[in-house]
Amino acid sequence: MIRVGIIGGSGLDDTDILEKCKKIEADTPYGPPSSDIMTGLINDTQVLILARHGRKHQYSPTQVNNRANIYALKQAGATHILATTACGSLRQEIDRGHFVILDQFIDFTRFRKNTFTDSFEQGVVHTAMAHPFDESLRNVLYRSATELGLKVHGKGCVVTIEGPRFSTVAESNMFRLWGADVINMSTAPEAMLANEAGIPYAAVAMATDYDCWKQDEAPVTWDEILSVFNKNADNVKQLFIKTVSEITTMA
Ligand code: ADE
């Protein structure tokens, strides 16, 4: 049976899209996940929603227990994971409110637990990561976004930084030279762990700012991110409702 896990980022963890909503109190060998899992239906498909930063946004990017989050979703039977994230744009053509269906990441985090395999005593594990985002899920997200008339970019490379600080201008320019299209503080470790857990994973990033590389704009602030987010939150909800329904027909 299809069961779609949704990991909601800042402002994108609303559970009012679920019918017959129930709470699952999850615990894992890695500790508790960031939030309870809310389970319910979207158009008859089972969905599990987890708030990446906690329901009160109490966990900083470094504190988010990605291992517990992915493990808890697997335990709850997630067959697919869709993640949302706010991001800064590193390209002129990716404007505020645009969506990017990520196809690659660059990991610039430093202090995260990013594997379930801390020791090789039970066997050697080197997970393939050449293509960390599931192609079929990416296609469904792209098609759904296009049909909804959203401004969407079919691919893009995210660089995930440790945070919680934003980047310097030098870093922002370096990430552009490296080929990153957008920047955030969450995706890379989460994608790695979903791949290790063998759960097809895709992430849609919503651009909220131009980070700080653009000389004709003031550098990003948290207030700016929240305000762009709130304006576009409904688009994210619609995108998920449509995508979840499409995943069911795809199976
Ligand atoms: N999330 C949203 N905008 C961001 C930025 N500019 N840098 C890092 N994370 C972000």
pLDDT digits (tens, 9 = 90+) for 179-232: 999 999 999 999 999 999 999 999 999 999 999 999 999 999 999 999 998 899
Query: Does the annotation flag 185 for ligand binding?
Result: yes
Ligand 1 centroid distance, CA of 120 (Å): 35
* Mean pLDDT, the chain, integer: 95
Task: Render pLDDT for 74-84 as a digit per residue (tens, 0 to 9).
Answer: 999 999 999 99
201 annotated to a ligand binding site: no
Banded model confidence at residue 15, pLDDT cuts 50, 70, 90 = confident
Q: Which two structure tokens, joined as six digits, stand for 217?
A: 């704009």
In ligand 1, which atom is closest to the CA atom of 220? 6
Distance CA(117)–CA(97), nearest Å, equals 37
Q: How far apart are CA 156 and CA 187, in angstroms?
A: 13
Q: What are the residues whose beta carbons fall under 8 Å from the beta carbon of 72, sequence distance 6 or more?
A: 26, 27, 28, 33, 37, 50
Q: Is the ipTM of this complex over 0.90?
A: yes
Phi-psi sector, 59: left (phi>0), alpha (psi -120 to 50), beta: beta
Determine the topology of domain 3-249 in CATH.
Rossmann fold (3.40.50)
**Residue 27 annotated among the catalytic residues of the structure:** no
Give the pLDDT score at 250: 74
What residues are in contact with ligand 1 under a 6 Å CB criterion?
86-88, 161, 166, 183-185, 208-209, 211, 220, 225
Closest Cα to atom 9, ligand 1: which residue? 184
